Amino acid sequence: NAGVTQTPKFQVLKTGQSMTLQCAQDMNHNSMYWYRQDPGMGLRLIYYSASEGTTDKGEVPNGYNVSRLNKREFSLRLESAAPSQTSVYFCASSERGAHGYTFGSGTRLTVV
Amino acid sequence: GQQLNQSPQSMFIQEGEDVSMNCTSSSIFNTWLWYKQDPGEGPVLLIALYKAGELTSNGRLTAQFGITRKDSFLNISASIPSDVGIYFCAGMNYGGSQGNLIFGKGTKLSVKP
């Protein structure tokens, strides 16, 4: 029962480096999301994909890009990492019209 | 945009005590959700509420959807050490985009055995 799988679990980047966070779900959900979690800030939506082939900006999209590769996979890319992007990143998925999101276990990213 | 005020920010309680936390919003929601996040893991859905006034239980957890649709509370009875974690409320409205689940900033619960 994999649910939502995120890779990697931990990553350290130098300022200016790029990387892609991977997310895959095996529940045949239509919608997928990327959140970042910072102390005292709760969960903030970066980007989401309501269905395969569509993506939209969330609350904090600057500095990120996304790709909905297929129905299962939704990746988040940092083109030029900045220390302000140090955070824990969560991917989630849901069935369209349903309100319960299933979250992955997170990627802890540190930018030095 | 819509914001949720969740309180308290943190709680330190003794095992066996009851816990209460709440969320308020400046605008109405059609759905309220409560999530729990264990250390090092992603949030997991505990309870979903779909109607104003609705009271729903899940074991020792009870949550209510406020009559005004602008608030919700979560109670945990007879707390145990495994209740430790961060509890998030979330509100959502029907229609529009799928990206409209708004999260509170969380209540961090610590339970002393």
Average pLDDT over residues B89-105: 75
- Give the pLDDT band (50/70/90) at residue B74: very high
Res B99 pLDDT > 80: no
Closest CB from B1, B45, B99 relative to A56: B99
Kindly state the average pLDDT of the residues B27-38: 92
- For residue A43, give the nearest of B44, B99, B103 by CB distance: B103
- With a pLDDT cut of 70, the percent of chain A lying above it is 96
Which whole-number Å values give the CA distances from A63 to A13, A49, A79, A108, in the listed order?
15, 17, 7, 17
Lowest mean pLDDT among A4-8, B7-11, B93-97: B93-97
Least Cα separation, residue B85 to chain A (angstroms): 13
Q: Give bridge partners of residue A110 from the DSSP assignment.
A: A12
From B97, B101, B106, residue closest to A56, measured CB to CB: B97
Contact B98 A101 (CB under 8 A): no
User: How far, in Å, CA of A111 to CA of B16, rounded?
Assistant: 41
CB contact under 8 A, B97 and A48: yes
Report residue B18's pLDDT band, with 50, 70 and 90 as the boundaries: very high
Is B43 within 8 Å of A45 when comparing Cβ atoms? Answer: no
Task: Flag whether pLDDT at B96 surpasses 70.
Answer: no
- Res B2 pLDDT > 90: no
Q: How far is CA A87 from CA A35, A44, A49, in A?
A: 10, 11, 21
Residue A25 tokens, joined: 């779900």
Contacts of B31 in chain A (CB under 8 A): 99
Percent of chain B with pLDDT over 90: 76
* Contact between chains at B99 and A43 (C-beta distance less than 8 A): no
The DSSP 8-state label assigned to residue A83 in this structure reads: G
Q: Would the CB atoms of B98 and A96 count as touching at under 8 Å?
A: yes
All residues of chain B having their beta carbon less than 8 Å from the beta carbon of residue A43 are 43, 88, 103
Mean pLDDT throughout B83-92?
A: 94
State yes or no: pLDDT of B34 exceeds 80. yes
**Residue of chain A with shortest Cα separation from B47:** A100
Residues in chain A, pLDDT under 50: none
- Confidence class of residue B94 from pLDDT cuts 50, 70 and 90? low
State the DSSP string of A24-68: EESS--SEEEEEEEETTTEEEEEEEESSTT--EE-S--TT-EEEE
pLDDT at A96: 66
The DSSP secondary-structure symbol of B67 reads: T
So what's the pLDDT on residue A1?
A: 63
Q: Tell me the average pLDDT across B14-38.
A: 94
